[in-house]
Amino acid sequence: MASTTVARSVLHKPKSRFSRYGWAPYIFVSPFFFLFSLFFLIPSLAALILSLFQWNGIGEITWMGLANYEFILNDSVFWQAVGNTFFYTSASILVIMPLSLILAVLLNAKSLRFATVWRAMYFTPIVVSTVATSLIFQILLNENSGLLNAPLIALGLEPINWLGDRAFVKIALIIVIGWRSFGLLTIYFLAGLQSIPAELYEAAEIDGANTTQRFFFVTIPLLKPIILFVSIIVMLGSIQVFDEPRILTGGGPANASISVVQYLYQRGFERLRFGFASSVGTILFLVVFVVSFIQLRFFGTFRADGDS
Burial category of 208 from C-beta neighbours within 10 Å (exposed 0-12, middle 13-18, buried 19 and up): exposed
Least-confidence region, from 1-10, 48-57, 99-108, 203-212: 1-10
For the chain, which residues make up each domain, given as ranges?
Answer: 67-299
pLDDT at 180: 87
Q: pTM to 2 decimals?
A: 0.81
Mean pLDDT computed over 52-81:
88
Range 229-264 burial, b when 16+ CB lie within 10 A, else e:
ebbbbbbebbbbbebbbbbbbebeeebbbbbbbbbb
Q: Is the pLDDT of residue 247 over 50?
A: yes
Query: For the segment 191-211, what is each residue's pLDDT rounded down to a tens digit?
Result: 898 888 888 888 888 888 888
Confidence band for 135, pLDDT divided at 50, 70 and 90: confident
Mean pLDDT computed over 153-163:
86
Chain-centroid distance, C-alpha 107: 24
CB contact at 8 A, 45 and 52: no
pLDDT at 155: 84
Q: Is the pLDDT of residue 21 over 70?
A: no
Q: Is the pLDDT of residue 229 over 50?
A: yes
Compute the distance between CA of residue 70 and CA of residue 55 in angstroms, rounded to an integer: 17
Mean pLDDT computed over 139-146:
84
| pLDDT cut 90: percent of the chain above it | 18
Query: For the segment 167-178, what is each residue's pLDDT rounded down to a tens digit?
Result: 899 999 999 998
Q: Is the pLDDT of residue 42 over 80?
A: yes
pLDDT at 19: 58
pLDDT at 215: 87
CATH 3.20.20.150 assigned to 67-299: no
Query: For the segment 73-131, what is each residue's pLDDT rounded down to a tens digit?
Result: 999 999 999 999 999 999 999 999 999 999 998 888 877 788 788 888 888 888 888 88
Query: For the segment 105-119, what is each residue's pLDDT rounded down to a tens digit?
Result: 888 887 778 878 888
Considering the chain, what is the average pLDDT of its residues? 84
